[in-house]
């Protein structure tokens, strides 16, 4: 080690002290890998999500009792290849339908909708996908007598 007389800082004698180019290559590869995946997410809260088969107007007009079926959660995704070839359905409605079909409910109360967008190698849009997750409490409306 040489001592820098001006700042009294120890500096390595050569670039090979930490492995030289191998260290730089590994560090560069790590930086590229971390920036190759980009993502963002948004979260919103919805009071009530009702299945398309239900009549929302009658639910609002009439007082209806219901039975809680417990927590419900489902995710729907849509993929994009080269940013021009889409497949899948990532709408909140699709995620809600999946959650209700799994739980057997008519609606979801205290619903939280999360939408996330992920991109692999975002500069070229090689592959990206967006997923919507619906979480809440599934309920089943009691049928009128």
Q: Where are the domains of the chain?
A: 37-141
pLDDT at site 123: 66
In the numeric block, which tokens belong to residue 59?
């639910």
Q: What is the pLDDT of residue 105?
A: 87
Distance CA 110, CA 103 (A): 15
What's the pLDDT at 81? Answer: 82
Residue 19 is predicted with a pLDDT of 56
CB 116 within 8 A of CB 41: yes
pLDDT at 63: 75
Reading the chain (145 residues) residue by residue, the pLDDT tens digits are 555 555 555 555 554 555 566 776 777 766 665 555 566 767 777 777 887 777 667 766 777 788 899 999 999 999 888 878 888 888 888 999 999 999 988 889 899 999 988 877 666 667 788 899 999 999 988 876 5
Q: Are 134 and 113 in contact (CB under 8 A)?
A: yes
Apex CA 142: angle with CA 139 and CA 145, to 5°?
175
């Amino acid at each position: 080690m040489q001592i820098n007389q001006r700042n009294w800082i120890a500096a390595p004698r050569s670039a090979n002290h930490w492995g030289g180019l191998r260290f730089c290559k590994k560090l560069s590869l790590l930086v590229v890998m971390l920036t190759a995946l980009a993502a963002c997410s948004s979260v919103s809260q919805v009071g009530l999500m009702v299945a398309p088969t239900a009549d929302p107007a009658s639910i609002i007009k009439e007082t209806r009792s219901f039975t809680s079926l417990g927590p419900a959660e489902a995710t729907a995704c849509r993929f994009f290849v080269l940013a021009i070839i889409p497949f899948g359905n990532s709408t909140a409605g699709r995620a809600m339908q999946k959650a209700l079909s799994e739980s057997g409910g008519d609606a979801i109360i205290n619903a939280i909708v999360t939408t996330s967008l992920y991109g692999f190698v975002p500069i070229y849009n090689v592959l990206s996908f967006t997923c919507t997750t619906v979480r809440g409490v599934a309920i089943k409306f009691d049928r009128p007598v």
